[in-house]
Structure 1
């Protein structure tokens, strides 16, 4: 929204509220200590098998010794990443920005393809044939009980893909497209989402801040060695480029870094999720391409 839109909204909202600043419907209190936490039930309903596989992931097996993390597994790592952002880690901000950007691009892409496919279907069908939406008689409902912004964004992507998958299956069932076309399109979308989620594995918690970067101290030198596959752009070092949904940066608490490193290290969570804590790196490229290259190596190893 542009500035004019914001001004119009504020004006209209102000007119809706009126001029009174006092609530007169009952007793009020200024004791904010009596307020509890806000709570909400949020869920996602999945109709296609392909989308449910993206959401739930896959357990380790003989054919896939690492398993495939689903949205809840991804959210655990993303939450650690977002904790690091609040502690002013520029690498965490960099990863968050690029993962969010990849999700946004993928969501835009699948929506465009889905709408074009809908138009194609309408033109392909005779005018006296009608098809309703393809819905599962027993859909899966997932409770979205996570705090990660990126996990919600990935969920929105999968929900858009779910509708696309159902549309493809419907066209296949009605003999409008061949099986291999459906399979190829579904697999491409699944691969895209798994690649995006695998980006999170390339981030390694280093317990550094932008102040450490400015001082070029020993902690920052150690962080650069751990993340040597990634050239951190200046705009992330100075904090001028951040995702619009990135968590706010809070003051870094003075705590024992050794005690915090275990609880905040995503690699430890990876070990619990997949039995492997190695962080793969690649040769230097730039921005999202660096993360994508690492993700593709990880994906090739984990997903085949």
Structure 2
């Protein structure tokens, strides 16, 4: 009789490669140790988005509310970056065929390991990569005199504001409410305190009929976490450690 095989948790080494100074600055953000106002970067966004997803997994309705807010911000960011990417591609396509211009890539790109902490973290990474491509195209079109410096600056500012807004949206997350939907159904003291502190929730969110398409399965306190969920918690610890590091000079 063949004994059953119980494979361990799946793991994959994942690295992010960025080619522009602009995208690297978005990755790091700016910490309070700089003596200037903090700017939330993508690494902090990943840690906070992961924390929100963890709270949603234990039936915190406020976490579901925040996941929906992040979905909207991701979509808004894409609506700005995607047209810019297509616009720069069209401009580069106008280069005469007698002139060969290859993609501009860094001779020494910034590379870092990433632990997205959930699907919304992955979406943030995809958006950052798209931003990096947009910046590369803008700088190249300016370099070969297809657009003016003023036009390039306007496009760069528009793209930068969009992705910084995505990272910044997680800053306002106040942390886990300490409640579940069962508390609201019972209208107990925890639920009343949460409403007083965090405000009322939309009915669809409170009832669980409106959740992010990337929301995790809800795990009741009596349910044991799966090996995949345990692995996610381990990665979240690494992610939060990474986010707490000072900005790379």
Shorter-chain TM-score bucket reads 0.7 to 0.9
8 A contact 1:72–1:151 mirrored in 2 = no
The correspondence for 2:32, drawn from 40, 54, 60, is: 60
Partner of 1:212: 183
Give structure 1 stretches of 5+ with no counterpart: 1-26, 255-268, 275-304
| Preserved contact between residue 54 and residue 71 of structure 1 (Cα < 8 Å) | yes
Aligned length: 226
**1:75-130 residue CA offsets vs partner (Å, 9 max, x unmatched):** 2222221111011011101111220232134225412321232113323x333222
Name the structure 2 match of 1:299: none
**1:31, CA displacement in angstroms?**
4.2
Q: Aligned pair 1:37/2:6, yes or no?
A: no
CA–CA distance in structure 1, aligned partners of residues 21 and 93 of structure 2? 25
Is 1:250 equivalent to 2:219 in the alignment? Answer: yes
CA distance in 1, matches of 2:211, 2:82: 25
Instruction: Tell me if 1:48 matches 2:48.
Output: no
CA distance in 2, matches of 1:96, 1:157: 16
SS in 2 for 1:202: coil
Q: TM-score, normalised by structure 1?
A: 0.68
**Could you tell me whether the CA contact under 8 Å between 1:88 and 1:252 is conserved in 2?**
no
C-alpha distance in 1 between matches for 2:45 and 2:187: 32
* Alignment pair present for 1:222 and 2:215: no
Q: Quick one: structure 1 residues 155 and 28, their matched pair in 2 at CA, closer, same or farther if it must change by over 3 Å?
A: farther
The whole-number CA distance in structure 2 between the counterparts of 1:45 and 1:69 is 20
CA RMSD of aligned residues (A): 2.4
SS in 2 for 1:142: strand
1:160 to 130, 136, 139: 130
**What aligned pairs does 1:43-122 form with structure 2 within 5 A after superposition?**
43-60=15-32, 64-65=36-37, 67-122=38-93
Q: Does 1:238 align with 2:207?
A: yes
TM-score between the two structures when normalised by the length of structure 2: 0.82
Offset of residue 143 of structure 1: 0.6
8 Å Cα contact 2:131-2:163 kept in structure 1: no
For residues 107 and 146 of structure 2, what CA distance do their matches in structure 1 show?
Answer: 23
Partners of 1:139 and 1:62 in 2: how far apart?
A: 24
The equivalent of 1:138 in structure 2 is: 108
Specify the structure having the higher radius of gyration (Cα).
Answer: 1
What residue ranges of structure 2 are gaps of 5+ in the alignment?
224-239
Corresponding position: 1:194 with 2:164: yes
Q: 1:59 to 1:201 in 2, by over 3 A?
A: closer
